Amino acid sequence: MCGRYASSKSADELIEYFDATLETSSARTPEAGLSHLAPSWNVAPTAQIYAILDPARVLTTARWGLLPSWAKSLDFAAKTINARVETVAEKPSFRSAFKSRRAIIPADGYYEWYTASGAVSRKQPFYICARDRSPLAMAGLYEWWVPGDGGAPVLTATVLTRDATPQIAEIHDRMPLMLPRAAWSEWLGGKLSSVEELLSISESLQELDAFPVSSAVNSSRENRPSLIDPVPLELEQVLW
């Protein structure tokens, strides 16, 4: 899964890297436009995040945790921060968005927790990012949710996940479905729809680095650049 990640790039940097355009207003909320987010090294579920929406690569902000139209409250979002690629086309929460509301969720890198077996279960956080430190393009979906009280629509988003590649499987059995540059337009345009296609294109990614980081990241209240600094492995069992 992907439950925490880092996102320190500015809107201008993301627009340049993803060849995107800046949202100046929204058809649903024309007075809003893009909210420029502060850098974060510990993005947590239900936070405001950057998202690039189909098909014109418009950079905007959304609430992390997709809310289908039938959700009763914002609380539902905590259950839908991730969508499994293997079942996304059938799950009631995601199938409508999968057909026509695609997104790219940019990230510097993401965190995953390795659980060591033993008398006492311990978890070691790892930070996973591109070896060249370029932004990751995580496949996502978005949905507009309208509160039952008639309040303003809320733009919400989720990150797709897949079975981990062999390297990352040493840490955790799931990982975000990441898109190589050559697949951005196809994904956003809805041309990639089968599990086989999506898994195939996500294999042709840039090399990833994965290294242990401080357990301070366990607290969503912690947010500083040093969270992504490598630290000595805190567990006795060495992975590689």
129 is catalytic: no
Query: For residue 208, what are its two tokens?
Result: 């990833």
2 is catalytic: yes
Gap between the Cα atoms of 171 and 221, Å rounded? 24
Query: Regarding beta strands 82-84 and 174-176, do their DSSP bridges make them parallel or antiparallel, or are they unpaired?
Result: unpaired
**Catalytic site residue from 2, 23, 129, 143:** 2
Which region, left, alpha or beta, applies to residue 161 given φ > 0 means left and ψ of -120 to 50 means alpha?
A: beta
Coil, strand or helix at 129: strand
Element (H, E) at 185: helix 184-188
* Residues found in the chain: 240
**Catalytic site residue from 23, 112, 129, 143:** 112
Beta-carbon contacts of 168 under 8 Å, excluding residues fewer than 6 positions away, are 112, 128, 175, 208, 210
Question: Which are the catalytic amino acids?
Answer: 2, 112
